[in-house]
Amino acid sequence: MVIGTGYVGLVQGACLASQGHQVICVDIDADKVNSLRDGKVPFFEEGLEVLVGEGIASGNLQFALGAEEGFTQLTPEVVFLAVGTPTGVDGSADLSIFESAVKSLVPYLTPGMVLVEKSTVPAGTGKKVLEWLGRDDIAVASNPEFLREGTAVSDFLKPDRIVIGADDIATLEMLKSVYAWCEAPVLTMNRESAELAKYAANTMLAARLSLMNEIANIADLIGANISEIETAVGADPRIGSKFLRTGAGFGGSCFPKDVLALEQTGRDLGYESQLIRPIIDVNTRQAEIFVDKVREAYGDLDGIKLAVWGLAFNAKTDDTRESPAMRIINLLLEAGASISAYDPAAMNEARKELKDRITYGKDQWGILSGAQGLLVLTEWDVFLSADYGVVMRTLEQPLIFDGKHALPAETLRDLGLQVIGIGI
């Protein structure tokens, strides 16, 4: 059983069903459950809707409204908790939704069942779960996910590693059997280690990005090219070449939330981190530095018409949470620019936040007419492989602002476009 049908829970449920497990996904949102029963996924994640359809057709994947209905349809051996854990007021993870999900299960759990933290929860939460349950015949384990939105299905089916944390061998063995189909190494450890490993991984990745972005800022000042530095640094096997791409900062619902929550976990335990908070501060400033670049190009942004390609925080997702694109658009609007934007998947999500403060294109081309420059803020393939000859002929001024450092700058320059980014 999987509790919560968001990005994490639904991928978990549909992928496990695809591997032959009998799965029921439970949610308390009736509209979501009805739509899922019809095979419709209420958000975009590549490959997920197909997998959900196949799961329903095979009979391996079912949906239920609320825990009571779920337990009537299936008696699970394992229950995965995959509900939201947003940032609370002090930066810590807000566990209120998670807590009420745990408590809603109490009447239905039978002795020997394993309750698994799949949501990202601070180290030590497992102990709280045992208190909320108020019984000792249920095992509580941690099995963090390392999925990226946009590639979550393939990340799940071909993971680098499976991390399982529990305090007894029987629980570890039970959870290992859930992943018996998987070739990746299964790393078993105590529950606190598994909980903390998830925060460690995300904080490490976010730190790497903020550090590279700071190096890009310095590169700009001395006329160095950050793309070349990225290649030079990444060639060191101790560092590795992945996750070094710089630009206008990182986004998404995970890095900012988890980095702040790790800082707060330390603080709650009496440890004041020196290194964690600046990861977020650098990232926030990066969008501002990028907007300064746009401002420099025009002198003044008041009345400037700009086209934006990309609103989602990552390609292949419709998720705009903490998206650098949204941050940048808000800053540009404050400076008096007018914006027309297009994203292959995230238009509806963006509209919820930006409303009628910008105009929305039907495709990526229409918004270029009359625009004095183009900002590329999400690395969708359709943007990277676009015909920039057409872009060059359509824009009023040949200015491209690359917020993701993903465009072939040399080719664009050969076409007569000026490519502007941080450290490029």
| Residues acting as catalytic residues | 254
- Provide, rounded to whole angstroms, the least separation between the CB of residue 256 and ligand UGA: 9
Question: Would you give the binding string for ligand UGA spanning residues 70-109, x where CB under 6 A is met?
Answer: ----------------------------------------
Question: Would you give the binding string for ligand UGA spanning residues 277-316, x where CB under 6 A is met?
Answer: ------------------------------------xx--
- Provide, rounded to whole angstroms, the least separation between the CB of residue 398 and ligand UGA: 26
d(CA 249, CA 314): 11
3-state secondary structure of 32: helix
CB neighbourhood size of 73 (10 A) = 13
Instruction: Give the nearer residue to ligand UGA in terms of CB position, either 188 or 286.
Output: 286
- Provide, rounded to whole angstroms, the least separation between the CB of residue 128 and ligand UGA: 20
d(CA 309, CA 378): 7
H-helix segments, 143-254? 152-157, 169-178, 191-222, 226-234
Question: Would you give the binding string for ligand UGA spanning residues 204-243, x where CB under 6 A is met?
Answer: -x---x---------------------------------x
Judged by CB under 6 A, the residue of 145, 263, 318, 349 near ligand UGA is: 145
Instruction: Give the nearer residue to ligand UGA in terms of CB position, either 118 or 191.
Output: 118
3-state secondary structure of 76: coil
Is the CB of residue 310 less than 8 Å from the CB of residue 329?
A: no
- State yes or no: residue 252 binds ligand UGA (CB under 6 A): yes
Q: What DSSP string describes 248-314?
A: S---SSSHHHHHHHHHHHHHHTT---SSSHHHHHHHHHHHHHHHHHHHHHHS--TT-EEEEE--SSS
Is the CB of residue 323 less than 8 Å from the CB of residue 310?
A: no
- State yes or no: residue 121 binds ligand UGA (CB under 6 A): no
- The candidate with the shortest Cα–Cα distance to 201, out of 141, 161, 153, is 161
Looking at residues 169 to 208 of the shown chain, list those that interact with ligand UGA (rule: CB under 6 A). Answer: 202, 205
Q: Which stretch binds ligand UGA (CB under 6 A): 74-82, 189-197, 245-253, 266-274?
A: 245-253
- Provide, rounded to whole angstroms, the least separation between the CB of residue 41 and ligand UGA: 16
- CA end-to-end distance (rounded Å), the chain: 48
Residues in contact with ligand UGA by the rule CB under 6 A: 120, 145-149, 202, 205, 209, 243-245, 247, 250-252, 254-255, 258, 313-314
